[in-house]
Amino acid sequence: MERALSEYLYLFAIFSLSGWVLEFIFRSLRLRKLTNPGFLRGPYLPIYGTGAVFLYLASLHLSGSHFLIKVLAYFVITTGLEFTTGFFLEEFFHIRLWDYSKESLRVKNFICLKYSLYWVVLALACEYLLFPPVMALYCRLIPPAFQIAGVITCLMFVESAWKFGRLFAAKKREKTAVDVDELQEFSQIIEPLLMHPEVARLAHFRHHRMMTRLDHCLEVAWLSYVLARRFSLGGVAAARGGLLHDLFYYEWLTEGPRLHGFRHPRICVENARKIAVLSKKEEDIIRKHMWPLTFSPPCYIESWIVCFVDTYCTVKDYLAFAGATDAPDPSPH
């Protein structure tokens, strides 16, 4: 077991280095200038080292198998590794190290048929031409080979940890900045309504469990606003409609009209009209937030968002899915 781990470490280091050299020559010639092919500063590409280890393991397990089975296995390994790496870097860090947008038969510009076939040829070359002499050299230089491979791998690990740490920190700062911007915009949208005494009155009515009606409306408004912004929809209408969707002034468990669930949306629309000028979308949000009890379905996507968010918040409050509200405190200070 110990020797097997040292072999894999050795292969990882050797092919990370040789892969970098291969990519460096290819890209420098193609771009006619010296080009570092990786996102690390050192002369190594971990994707090549990882691929070499997987291919070596596959070659051992497929020894004696039909040639076409090997071709299929190598195709899946190399193309899968290329797609996974490209997708991860692009999706989480917005880093694109290669782009197949000009190639035909491609998937999300991360992989394409032409280069996948190249990788299969390279994988076969590794099995029949490269792995035998590389492993023979390892057998002759086991102690120093393992030590050198360990040093190189440590360098790659340290630099990768440093690089990804910086990327994660930058992404966290970016997300925090976006969250702050969203909260500031949300506060600006609802502040005029929160200043109105008829909205402030909602803080005196218990709504769900220990939450006041104002707490509930703020939570629905915030979550609806965030979802609307995520989908490039009307965040203003979602925030205002969410805040005013339960604008009524009675203890609905013991007071108010019969069939409260069916009738209070119309009451809330009438109350909201008295304190604000409502757009058609905002009025639809308030009037349809109890669908299907309102029979007529929502006419806007924002209305559906508020309807579902209101249902989620209600269920969460009564079943105690969460101990505290998800809404921030956007009230003016």
255: CB partners within 8 A, 6+ apart: none
- What would the pLDDT profile of 275-298 be if each residue is shown by its tens digit? 999 999 999 999 999 888 877 889
Q: Where are the domains of the chain?
A: 2-171, 195-319
182: CB partners within 8 A, 6+ apart: 225, 226, 229
Q: Residue 204: phi, psi to the nearest 5?
A: -95, 5
On whether the CB atoms of residues 228 and 305 are closer than 8 A, the answer is: yes
- What would the pLDDT profile of 53-74 be if each residue is shown by its tens digit? 999 999 999 988 999 999 999 9
Model pTM above 0.85: no
- The reported pLDDT for the residue numbered 322 is 41
**Between 280-288 and 301-319, two packed helices, what is the crossing angle to 10 degrees?**
40
pLDDT score of 181 more than 80: no
325 alpha-carbon distance from chain centroid: 23
| Strands 106-107, 111-112: pairing kind | antiparallel
pLDDT score of 8 more than 60: yes
Residue among 292, 315, 309, 295 nearest 241 (CA): 309
The stretch 199-203 carries a mean pLDDT of: 91
What six digits make up the tokens of 84? 């996974």
Cis peptide before 37 (omega within 30 of 0): no
CA–CA separation, 283 and 279 (whole Å): 6
pLDDT score of 1 more than 70: no
| Strands 206-208, 211-212: pairing kind | antiparallel
- The reported pLDDT for the residue numbered 126 is 94
Cα angle vertex 142, ends 139, 143, to 5°?
A: 165
Residue 65 to residues 41, 71, 77, 79, 123: CA-CA distances in angstroms?
40, 10, 16, 21, 15
Torsion sign (Cα): 234, 236, 237, 241: positive
